[in-house]
Chains A and B, each alone.
Chain A
Amino acid sequence: MNLALQFLANGLVTGAFYALSALGLTLIFGLMRVVNFAHGEFFMLGGVLGWVATAVLGLDFATAFVLVVAAMGVLGWLVDRFMIERVRGHGEESTILLTIGLSIFLANATLYLAGPAPMKVPAPLTGKPLFLGPVVLTKSRLAAVAVSVVLVLGAYLVIHRTRIGRAMRATFQDAMAAKLSGIRTERIFAATFALGTMLAASAGMLLASIYSAQASVGGLVSLKAFVVVILGGMGSFPGAIAGGLILGLSEAFWGGYVSTGTVDIVGFVMVILILLFRPRGLFSLNAQRA
């Protein structure tokens, strides 16, 4: 029983991290419909740059975080304006090939410059773990969960309650109509891609302070983020949270009771089932309309 509670706590924490890691992809793939295979590398770069800023340059975590996220925003903007923009409207294959190419480049450039060793970002919070009854949790994990919640909520509010958020949704649903209303769609595309890149990098740096950053981690992060986005329903932030928690919990219990070696299969089996039976995501009201 105690073990089950610990699995539950671990699953919720991992699930919150999955939701956070997938947030940028919810925006870029879910809403903007760019199949972005470089998502995991943006996440990875957030961690590696965070390590450079803190462990190498000696900045404090908060300053480093702001700088890294800003730099990644610029990178995202440039990638959209100079790469994605050229293939926009030419079908998904071009975008997929482009972002796969970009991901290979980013991963190997990082491997070349920083090497394959794990890079640990010093955690902003230290101290004894908390004991909640039989459950053990570290403060930095709880803080990271809190930051995840804030970022998810913030992204949701931006998309649904602000002028630029409405312009984003309009642009992705019908770019021509958006142009005719005076929206400069090319800026909206670039801003959304930049925002998604910043969210991916935030997640990468936060999680690099709990686990560690590694040049080769991008592929797995991308795949799991796609799992979360598809589980939750394309472009839905509440869905992404639910998708993250479901994935985190299933993996925690599968790893705890069945076998740890096969944990990574769980998500993919779920995605296959979802795509077969509820192609618009677990929580869509109209699963038929795919």
Chain B
Amino acid sequence: MSARTVLAVSDLTAAYGNATALHGVSLEVREGETVALIGANGAGKSTTLRTISGLLAARSGRIAWEGKDITNWPADRVVAAGLSHCPEERHVWPEMTVEENLRLGGYLCGSRREVDRRAALAFGRFPRLQERAGQLAGTLSGGEQQMLAIARALMSEPRLLMLDEPSLGLSPKMAEDVFAVVRDINRHGVTVLLVEQNVHNALSVASRAYVLETGRVTAERNAGDLRDDPDLLRTYLGG
């Protein structure tokens, strides 16, 4: 692997009150990769993303982004630095229109013309959203909301996109579409860190995967190896 490491998380711990959720997570993401973070419910996948994006304070450890220490930066600085986090369960603003949701994704972009340009790109990529531009986001279907959440996360033109369970609650067909979008985003040069319950989908788009178990990384493998070896997968995921 010649690509440089853009995100390096080392020995990260984090807690909700007194309940420690991460007991020293280390992982690396290289430029242009799609890396999957897999593991059972409650393993700490979302917590890892939340700590990277500044929603949750790290207790110890270090998060380095393109060589800079961004540990415990506030969320707005993390976004400005080029990381974008598309959260679990979509979290679109239900009482705002699709277009308002989208444009707010580019909140930190000072130029209105530039936001126009990015919104036009997003509508080009997601024609369904264009059709529903004036509709309240709360009235969209689950799949459409997921597309909107991804499109919104892309409005800051991130170099790293962190996606948390983008296929959750979607029909297999819808999930297919979402993963096609993830592949497409990655082809356009955006590095992706993907959290998924649906391991087969995750491994179909990722090149490498980290397995998380109760707040610790227990394995790091090529996605192909895991895909071709169901027994190996079972050992890690206990399924």
Contacts and interface: CB of A to CB of B under 8 A. Distances in A.
Interface of A: 163, 166-167, 169-170, 173-174, 176-184
Interface of B: 53-55, 74-76, 79-80, 84-87, 91-96, 100, 103-105, 107-108, 152-153, 155-156
B93 A182 contact: no
Contact of B95 (A167, A169, A180, A184): A169
B133 to A, nearest CB: 15
A182 B152 contact: no
Given A182-B75, A182-B79, A170 B96 contact: yes
B93 A180 contact: no
B87 A182 contact: no
26 contacts: A166-B104, A169-B93, A170-B93, A170-B96, A173-B96, A174-B92, A176-B55, A177-B87, A177-B91, A177-B92, A177-B93, A179-B54, A179-B55, A179-B76, A180-B53, A180-B75, A180-B85, A180-B87, A181-B79, A181-B104, A181-B108, A181-B156, A182-B75, A182-B80, A184-B74, A184-B76
A174 B100 CA distance: 14
Contacts, number: 63
Contacts of A163: 107
A176 B103 CA distance: 17
Contacts of B55: 176, 179-180
Contact of B107 (A169, A173, A176, A181): A181
Contacts of B91: 174, 176-177, 180
Complex A-B, nearest 4 residue pairs according to Cβ-Cβ distance, in ascending order: A182-B108, A182-B79, A177-B91, A179-B75
B106 to A, nearest CB: 8
Contact of A167 (B87, B92, B104, B156): B104
Contacts of B103: 166
Contacts of B96: 166, 169-170, 173
A169 B137 CA distance: 13
* Centre residue among A163, A174, A182 by max chain B CB count within 10 A: A182
B79 A173 contact: no
Given A181-B107, A182-B75, A183-B76, A173 B94 contact: yes
A180 B84 contact: yes
Contact of A173 (B80, B86, B93, B152): B93
Contacts of A166: 96, 100, 103-104
A150 B87 CA distance: 40
